Amino acid sequence: MIIALGCDHAALALKDAVREHLSELGHEVKDFGIYKDGEKCDYPDKAAEVGHALQKGEAALGILICGTGVGMSIAANKLRGIRACCCSDVFSAKMCRLHNNANILTFGERVVGRGLALELVDAFLSSEFEGGRHARRVDLITALEEE
């Protein structure tokens, strides 16, 4: 799977750990940075870069990491077709794929440790949207984009 990955300066170490994990699993990672200690970025800009990659079909799913994961999810959810979920438990990371067809997972380096973060990633990537009754509800979410 092609995964778009991004972080701000609060989450560089965890982003790099996630990138390594994804590569070990055999995924192709499009790493949108940041890349170096001392580099700064505003999380809405990084959320937009990763969200735009999904919109253009350049990646199937995205992962965004900031201090809390919250800012990244708020920003990414402003983009059409993006359903970003901020998760710090494995159940939600799985259910947001199964029921909500989430296409971006966000979490916070200041909230979750490396071990939990990688479990969130595994749960998110290994779960598929169930469709059925959930599809109608996701369509209702999409319709809100027209308001």
Catalytic residues: 66, 99
Nearer to ligand RB5, 45 or 139 (CB): 45
Of positions 3, 4, 5, 10, contacts ligand RB5 by CB under 6 A: 10
Q: How far is the CB of 7 from ligand RB5 (least distance, A)?
A: 8
Q: Does 34 bind ligand RB5 (CB under 6 A)?
A: no
Nearer to ligand RB5, 34 or 54 (CB): 34
Cα 17 versus chain centre, distance: 15
Q: Does 71 bind ligand RB5 (CB under 6 A)?
A: yes
Nearer to ligand RB5, 33 or 67 (CB): 67
Q: Does 66 bind ligand RB5 (CB under 6 A)?
A: yes
Determine the size of the site formed for ligand RB5 (CB under 6 A): 9
The whole-angstrom separation of Cα 112 and Cα 134 is: 29
Instruction: From residue 97, give the alpha-carbon distance in Å to each of 38, 44, 110.
Output: 34, 23, 24
Q: Does 32 bind ligand RB5 (CB under 6 A)?
A: no
The whole-angstrom separation of Cα 44 and Cα 92 is: 23
Cβ atoms of 7 and 40 closer than 8 Å: no
Best CA proximity match to 144, nearest among 52, 71, 77 = 77
Cβ atoms of 97 and 66 closer than 8 Å: no
The site for ligand RB5 (CB under 6 A) is made up of: 8, 10, 43, 66-68, 70-71, 108
